[in-house]
Amino acid sequence: MIFLRYESFGAYLRQFPVTSAIIALNLVYFIIVSVNGDPNAAMHAIKFGAFVTHPVYDPYGMLEPWRYLTSVFMHSGIQHLLFNLFAVLVFAPPLERLLGSLRYVFFYLLCGVGGNAFSALASDVAADGGTHVGVGASGAIYGVYGAYLFISLFRKSQLDVSSRKTVYTILIFGVIFSLLAPQVDLWAHVGGALAGFLLYSLFERAKARNRRYRT
């Protein structure tokens, strides 16, 4: 089972520097936002970088595109934060090792952006007439799950049976939770997972091309 963590705190920091930095940034930014107000209040969240779309004035959040990234490091409450950071802590390290730290930086951020983009697209299609405000690392985290789904389906030798079962279980329960829990952005989760699945596929193809060139 690749998702069991046995490292000491120091070893974890050394072996998974990007994952450690992501956890630290989420914690620090949550403290900053919370000290200055209620992180669950929409206007306060917008002030500090939440992702925002409006069906008429800015359906895809492009007036302030930096929010695609800042919102990935924001959370609406301590439960939201801890739930997501636990997922990063446990599930991100093996993927950082597979991709390498530098590529994992781009992978994680692009999955977060992809989750927000898919959420904006879904909101625009639904045309519910309201302003959409989104925060959270869930899109990026589901990108990690999407990468593991690709590995489970097409690179089975890289995952043991227990790890593959864990991936399938997480995704099934994730979909159920996203559908049933209030204020959860299902489409950000779906978009993040799709981004992770496709990005990992692209990275795999790039690695295969590089191996062919070297030989």
Task: Give the residue numbers annotated as catalytic, written as ranges.
Answer: 138, 189
Identify which of 141, 129, 131 has the alpha carbon closest to the alpha carbon of residue 188: 141
Residues in Cβ contact with 75 at an 8 Å cutoff, skipping those fewer than 6 apart:
26, 30, 39, 81, 84, 135, 136, 137
> Exposure of 136 by Cβ count < 10 A (0-12 exposed, 13-18 middle, 19+ buried)?
buried
Q: Which two tokens stand for residue 30?
A: 């949550």
Q: Are strands 132-134 and 51-53 parallel, antiparallel or unpaired?
A: antiparallel
Q: Which residue has the tokens 């869930």?
A: 138
Pair 90, 3: CB distance under 8 Å:
yes
Which amino acid is residue 143, in one-letter code?
G
